[in-house]
A = this chain, B = another copy of it.
Amino acid sequence: MKISELSSASAVSVGTIKYYLREGLLPAGERTSRTTAEYGEEHLGRLRLIRALLEEGGLGIDGVRRVVAALDVPDPARLDLMATSQDALVAGVGRELPDDTRARAWLVRRGWPILPEDDPLPGRLEAAWSACERAGIDIDGSVMDRYADAVEQVARVDVASVPVRDPAAAVHRVVVGTVMIDPVLSALRLLAQRKVAWLEAGGDARPMGQG
């Protein structure tokens, strides 16, 4: 299809599509003349993915670029896949990471693996942890443990959902799933808080907030 048809099919303007092409988020179409190119279903799928990552996944253009770069270099090993995709998501955030001593100590005590060098994840955990404290939300090691127990269950679902026989599908699931499922978990958390608070209040038939 022509770029104008790709625009109609995706509901993304031609100008925006050209911007994604320039930014390397969308691969070039097959050139049919000096000024025209032909686009296919893979471009339409990629456009839907870009819009979803930007609008719901909360990524910026740089984040989308890292995600699509990871998609374009699939690695068949599930373990390395996880590392590659995490690198794609975490790398280049361009923010100075804090002293991560406490997060590392907590991870070591818990027995969760830390990379021997340049591991960005302990710093990411420390940044979020200390931001909670700056906002007046104290999380001690035992509360962190209880959150981690719950999140480990989430991760088991994540890892079990990775297709084992199709590397490209596996990379897509890990990289895109990690970004796109966070908002699902966030919505579930609000609903589950309501359910738990409702149960605690006796779980009568009267819906909460209607008292």
Contact (Cβ within 8 A) B134 A190: no
- Collect the chain B residues with CB atoms within 8 Å of residue A107's CB: 191
Taken together as a complex, chains A and B put the C-alpha atoms of A148 and B193 apart, in Å, by 11
- A128-B184, A185-B151 given; A157·B143 CB < 8 A: yes
Q: Within 8 Å of chain B (Cβ to Cβ): is A161?
A: yes
Q: Give A196 to B151 CA distance when docked, in angstroms.
A: 11
Assess the A208–B113 pair: CB atoms within 8 A. Answer: yes
Is A45 close to B, CB under 8 A?
yes
A1-9, A18-26, A29-37, A81-89 - interface stretch: A81-89
CB nearest to A135 among chain B residues: B52
Chain A contact patch, size range: 35 or more
Give every chain B residue within 8 A of A152 (Cβ-Cβ): 192, 195-196
Give the chain B neighbours of A89 by CB distance below 8 A. Answer: 190
A172 near B45: Cβ-Cβ < 8 Å: no
Any chain B CB within 8 A of the CB of A136?
yes
Q: Which residues from chain B contact A197 at a C-beta distance below 8 Å?
A: 78-79, 82, 159
CB <8 Å contact, A116 and B210: yes
Chain A positions near chain B (C-beta within 8 angstroms): 45, 48-49, 51-53, 55-58, 77-80, 82-83, 86, 89-90, 107, 111-116, 121, 124-125, 127-129, 131-132, 134-137, 139, 143-144, 146-159, 161, 172-174, 176-178, 180-198, 200-201, 207-211
